[in-house]
């Protein structure tokens, strides 16, 4: 599998607003902090940022609207990620993460509705760029459903990778090169338990049989696994200080795809994914941390056949 350009589609982008608190919030209390971040986010955008930093050619697409959408596009223009978003009515999401000493709190907006004409424009744009792979990732706003994703997958010669809600994964009917559920999405997509590594492997094998050439599952502190047509590979997580889990699954996916782009073996692609995710959970927000040592770090990742 060899790909030169990967286009990411974020149907429901967001500006990720991250707040670091020195104490846990309680009702009625006013907390003050000067430790905040605003990052261009949404799963597909995150994947594109990590891919670009890893040296993989990419372009970020999707739907943007309102003043938040303008801000997000401006922030991305400061990065190495080329963009071509479709403008829509409504306002792009502002998603909030509160990092308190004892817990992580997330508040995600639903997002603006997407008109059918915007979907037509997105597919036209992808067709012009002729990517080798399209990655559709993140939550789906009103107006976008599993049938929309199938339509994108079937619209060109590209292969398609998806990182979507479990119920959406279960409703897809086209053939896909890869899907990347987390543990909860894996359970939701297959109606099976995925609370242990062994049960997650069983669920991932079941999901692969539904039309996904590869299933890469992120299992948090348990690491990650990859199921192909003839192999099941498992990699435990590396020891690291976890600061913020936002973007960890996107980092795993970007590392795996970057490896596959280089024609790495499935084992080394999975190692790359775990290495990138390890670096990302050590940084706040969805900013891209230093990834220069990923090739070295991945040598520390053990991969076993299961």
Task: State the Cα–Cα distance between residues 76 and 271, nearest whole angstrom.
Answer: 28
Residues written for the chain: 306
Residue 206 tokens read as 């079941």
Q: Which of 16, 163, 244, 250 is catalytic?
A: 250
| Opening angle at CA 227, ends 134 and 189, nearest 5 | 70
Q: Is 250 a catalytic residue?
A: yes
State whether residue 18 is helix, strand or coil: strand
DSSP string of 273-290, one letter each residue = HHHHHHHHTTSSTT----
Q: 194 is written with which tokens?
A: 């995925």
Closest CA to 253 of 2, 4, 43: 43
* 3-class DSSP assignment, residue 101: coil
CA-to-CA distance for 80 and 59, rounded, in angstroms?
Answer: 10
Q: Within 13 Å and on the Cβ side, how many CA atoms surround 253?
A: 31
Cβ atoms 134, 160 nearer than 8 A: yes
Name the DSSP class of 298.
G
Helix (H) or strand (E) holding 286: none
Residues assigned a catalytic role: 250
């Amino acid at each position: 599998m060899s790909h030169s350009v990967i286009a990411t589609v974020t149907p429901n982008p967001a500006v990720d607003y991250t707040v670091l608190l020195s104490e846990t919030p309680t009702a009625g209390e006013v907390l003050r902090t000067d430790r905040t971040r605003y990052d261009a986010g949404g799963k597909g955008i995150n994947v594109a940022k990590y891919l670009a930093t890893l040296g993989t050619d990419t372009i970020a697409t999707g739907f943007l609207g309102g003043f938040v959408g303008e801000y997000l596009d401006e922030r991305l223009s400061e990065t190495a990620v080329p963009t071509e978003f479709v403008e829509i009515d409504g306002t792009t999401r502002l998603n909030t993460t509160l990092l308190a000493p004892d817990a992580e709190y997330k508040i995600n907006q639903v997002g603006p509705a997407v008109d059918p004409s915007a979907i037509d424009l997105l597919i036209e744009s992808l067709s012009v760029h002729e990517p080798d792979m399209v990655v559709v990732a993140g939550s789906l706003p009103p107006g976008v459903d599993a049938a929309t994703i199938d339509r994108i997958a079937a619209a060109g010669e590209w292969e398609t990778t998806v990182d979507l809600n479990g119920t959406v994964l279960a409703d897809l009917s086209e053939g896909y090169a890869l899907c990347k559920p987390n543990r909860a999405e894996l359970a939701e997509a297959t109606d099976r338990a995925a609370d242990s590594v062994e049960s997650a492997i069983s669920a991932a094998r079941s999901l692969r049989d539904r039309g996904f050439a590869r299933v890469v599952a992120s299992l948090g502190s348990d690491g990650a696994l990859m199921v192909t047509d003839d192999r099941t590979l498992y990699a435990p997580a590396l020891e690291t200080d976890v600061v913020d889990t936002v973007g960890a699954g996107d980092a795993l996916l970007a590392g795996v795809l970057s490896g596959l782009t280089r024609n790495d073996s499935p084992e080394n692609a999975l190692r790359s994914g775990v290495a990138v995710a390890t670096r990302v959970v050590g940084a706040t927000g969805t900013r891209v941390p230093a990834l220069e040592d990923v090739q070295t770090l991945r040598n520390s990742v053990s991969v076993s056949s299961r």
